[in-house]
Homo-oligomer: A and B are copies of this chain.
Amino acid sequence: MSDARKYFNLASPFAMKRGGALRGAHVAYETWGTLNAARDNAVLILTGLSPSAHAASNAEDPSHGWWEDMLGPGKAIDTTRWFVICMNSLGSDKGSTCPASIDSATSEPYRLNFPDLSLEDVANAAHVLVKSLDIDKLGCLIGCSMGGMSALAYMVLHPGSVRAHISVDTAPQAQPFAIAIRSLQREAIRLDPNWNGGQYDDERYPDIGMSIARKLGVITYRSAMEWNGRFARIRLEPEQREEQPFGFEFQVESYLESHARRFVRTFDPNSYLYLSRASDWFDISEYGGGNVMEGLKRIRIEQALVIGVSTDILFPLEQQEQIAEGLEAAGAKVEFVALDSPQGHDAFLVDIENYSRAIGGFLARL
């Protein structure tokens, strides 16, 4: 399989926010376009919990990326103008050092010996990657979902490192509803006997826990409104139904099942647990004496675009409003776009037309 990933070795030891350090760690990333002579046309994308660095196809890897329609020549994030970097989060198993990686000290996978992971660690790894490319200041830092929180960490920890910011469907801190959902996802994995305290393998693998976690994710990433139009109460054909008690009968059930099947064995369960908990922990108010607005006001950038969706139940629109207000109070010129896309939190992956218009317009005006 072709692979466009590059790898950047982090300083060793790489100190983690909550204590401990990684030795010999690296992050995977991909790039599109060309860095200009002034080195001021770089865009960094920080991702949600599960995507890889492969945001779009490129010469080395022509397969479709997770934001294929957003990124490329002539697209909203126009790679004929911008040098785009997408990094796989530290702690994610898509190429970066993660709990499934081999710990050089023991020659065994870290598993639960991986140190506590925070989104500040993700941000710090991204910052040293950018510095290693001899880029002093990002033209734009884009963060989607969890990546939006990592982006806030990046900006508050590294003043002067970002000119403009695009915040997509994210939050300045996790609210209790989102914590409850993620806690339950983690519990489904933890309580699966095959998780076995993190000591699973391909034979004994927590498929059930991962499947429940993923389905709960998909339910909260989309919206009831979209599903009313898309699935309503349509039944599966008799031959599609599960032949077991209480088996699937409605289309929406098999939709969730197919999402889960694609995910369960392609994401390391321990890495999922670490990233999920890092999302619960992140709180910009830590940088503002316990106050979200004061935390946001410590971010120094020139311009920002903040996008949210009215149908998002995981990162509700009021949280994007908070980000917009806080960045404006900090002195940035802020555009706030509230969309009515029916797809919920995942709208940024689906409603390309509206997100393209907002993101493309903002980048073109920079």
A283 within 8 A of B: yes
How many copies of this protein are present in the complex?
Answer: 2
- Which residues on the B side are within 8 Å of A188 (C-beta)? 188, 212
Taking a contact as CB atoms under 8 Å apart, the answer to whether B190 and A245 are in contact is: yes
CB neighbours (8 Å) of A256 from chain B are: 180, 183-184
Residues of B within 8 A of A187 (CB): 211-212, 215
In this assembly, does A22 line the interface, its C-beta being within 8 Å of a C-beta of chain B? no
> Are B283 and A233 interface neighbours, CB within 8 A?
yes
Contact A174 B216 (CB under 8 A): no
How many angstroms between the C-alpha atoms of A253 and B176 in the bound complex? 9
Contacts of A336 in B (CB 8 A): none
A272–chain B nearest beta-carbon distance, Å: 10
A5 at the interface (CB under 8 A from B): no
Between A184, A198, A231, the greatest number of chain B beta carbons within 10 A of the residue's beta carbon is seen for A184
| Cross-chain contact B231 with A176 (CB below 8 angstroms) | yes
In the bound complex, residues from chain B placing their C-beta under 8 Å from that of A112 are: 245
Q: Does A137 contact B (CB under 8 A)?
A: no
A5 to B180 alpha-carbon distance, docked (Å):
37
Q: A188-B212, A246-B273, A250-B280 are in contact. Are A233 and B193 (CB under 8 A)?
A: no
Contact of A177 among B212, B224, B248, B283 (CB under 8 A): B224
Q: Are A219 and B252 in contact (CB under 8 A)?
A: no
Contact of A252 among B173, B176, B227, B253 (CB under 8 A): B176
Task: List the B side residues contacting A186 at CB < 8 Å.
Answer: 246
How close is A238's CB to chain B, nearest CB, in angstroms? Answer: 15
A316 in contact (CB, < 8 A):
yes
CB distance from A283 to the nearest CB of B (A): 6
Instruction: Check if A198 sits within 8 Å of B245, measured CB to CB.
Output: yes
Q: How many Å from the CB of A183 to the closest CB on chain B?
A: 5
- Is residue A241 within 8 Å, beta carbon to beta carbon, of the partner chain? no
B245 close to A176 (CB less than 8 A): no
| A binding-site residues for B, Cβ under 8 Å | 112, 173-177, 179-181, 183-184, 186-188, 190-191, 193, 197-198, 208, 211-212, 215-216, 219, 223-224, 227-228, 230-233, 244-246, 248-253, 256, 273, 277, 280, 283, 313, 316
Q: Apart from A186-B246, A246-B273, what 15 extra A-B contacts exist at CB < 8 Å?
A: A173-B233, A175-B227, A175-B232, A179-B233, A180-B227, A180-B252, A180-B256, A183-B248, A187-B211, A190-B246, A216-B216, A233-B283, A245-B273, A249-B280, A250-B280
- Can you spell out 27 A-B residue pairs with CB atoms less than 8 angstroms apart? A173-B233, A175-B224, A175-B228, A175-B232, A176-B224, A176-B228, A176-B230, A176-B251, A177-B219, A177-B223, A177-B224, A177-B227, A179-B252, A179-B253, A180-B215, A180-B252, A181-B219, A184-B219, A184-B256, A191-B208, A191-B211, A197-B245, A224-B316, A245-B273, A246-B273, A249-B280, A313-B313
